[in-house]
Amino acid sequence: MVSGLGSAVTTVALPVLIFQESRSPLLVSLVSAAGTLPYLAFGLIAGTVADRVDRRALMIVTDWLNALCLGSIPLAWAMGVLTASHVLAVALLSASLSLFFDAGVYGFVPEVVGKENLARANSAIYGAETVVRIAGNALAGGLILLFRPGGTLALDAASFAASALLLRAIAHTTPSSAPSAARRPGLRESVREGLRFLCGHPTLRVLTVVGTLQSFSGGAIVGQLVVFADRVLGIHGSDGRIGLLYMAWSAGGIGGSLLLPRLRRRFDAYPLLLWVLPVGALLGLLVVLTSDWRVALVALTAWGSAYLVVLVNTMTYSQEVTPPELQGRVNTTRRMLSSGLGVPLGALVASTVTVRVGIQSGMATAAVATALAAVIVWAVRLLRLLRPSESAQA
């Protein structure tokens, strides 16, 4: 959470900084895409590494390396030698290190809290991350004004160092589940093991598709919200209500993180999706059809809650059913498909539809993706009722 605050500030400061250095919209886009590109490039490798080493040690090392990486920017800025290529390289390297950190988290959290507490732990983590992201984004403007973008990044570097120190202080009595070197398969075989488990587990396979479609939906919403506000809701330029719309989406995520543990006490992972996904699709349709910003505000908040319930539910189920030695590989692959593929693809498709058809159609792609996920889970459930033997394997 500590490093998350700095990262939220950096999400705003890095694009501002590279635009100041280059005046290039293309480089600004590349910096913004840097958060997802490493998942496509290194997702399988990161998960394999996390399953072959001590996960806590991996998280500490990546935190220290990220502190050094981001700390190079304020240093170069202070010396007057900062370049746009330096900023872009740091954005990509920092995101790649964060990917390896996340791969360690997927296995480390079940080791610390136990699988019976995963729903509550994951909800707390996602909810706290959302709060921190809101606070960091709110702080970013003032910090950039006070310290300039280059100096502001020193906060993120310090936050990673603090995170590393806090991780070292955690009592970690659970032994690492990584296989010993004597019985450890090769890197390529390790990747195949994770893919075989993910593709061979019927329910996890379906939930991976659902998670990717849900992330597609999120990419479409966030990517087109400014345009939707301007052309449909009448919120133009620097109107402060645009901030309220983004906050509503994030606040909904906080609500979803509080709601999930209660829902999981009453419903298993798959039955929960049968009802939450259709509700999410209907809320998305309400947002698309309204022209009243107040109705959109309420609907976005509720939609954000349903959105996060689905994502955290699928993540929790994956951690529950995945063997300890495969946690990094299986869950990083899932994240590779959702964050690395689903989010940018959703933003790209929505923007293309907006240009060719209109903004309401572009925003509707998010609701359609959620509706498609709902159709898939219901179709699979009905097929399993007709084929009890397949249901028993799930």
The DSSP result for 164-197, as a single string, is HHHHHHS---SPP-SPPGGGPPPHHHHHHHHHHH
User: Which tokens hold the place of 45?
Assistant: 């490798």
* DSSP for residue 323: -
How far apart CA 384 and CA 213 sit, in angstroms, is: 22
**Coil, helix or strand for 3?**
helix
User: Which tokens hold the place of 371?
Assistant: 């509706």
User: Which tokens hold the place of 333?
Assistant: 């692959």
Interacting residues of 105 by C-beta distance below 8 A, sequence separation 6+:
55, 59
How far apart CA 352 and CA 58 sit, in angstroms, is: 40
Hey, what amino acid is at 190?
S
Q: What is the pLDDT along the chain (394 residues), one digit of tens a residue?
A: 556 666 767 776 777 788 777 877 667 757 766 777 788 788 888 888 998 888 889 999 999 999 999 999 999 988 989 888 898 899 899 989 989 998 888 888 888 788 788 888 888 887 877 777 777 666 666 777 677 777 788 888 988 999 899 888 875 544 444 554 445 667 778 888 888 999 999 999 999 999 999 999 998 888 788 788 889 999 876 676 877 887 888 889 888 988 999 999 999 999 999 999 999 999 999 999 999 999 999 999 999 999 999 999 999 999 999 998 888 889 888 888 887 888 888 888 988 899 899 999 999 999 999 999 999 999 999 998 887 655 544 5
A 10 A CB-CB count for 82 gives 22
Query: What domains sit in the chain, N to C, each tagged with a CATH number?
Result: 2-174 (1.20.1250.20), 192-393 (1.20.1250.20)
**C-alpha 148 chain-centroid distance:** 28
Phi, psi of 219 (to 5 degrees): -65, -40
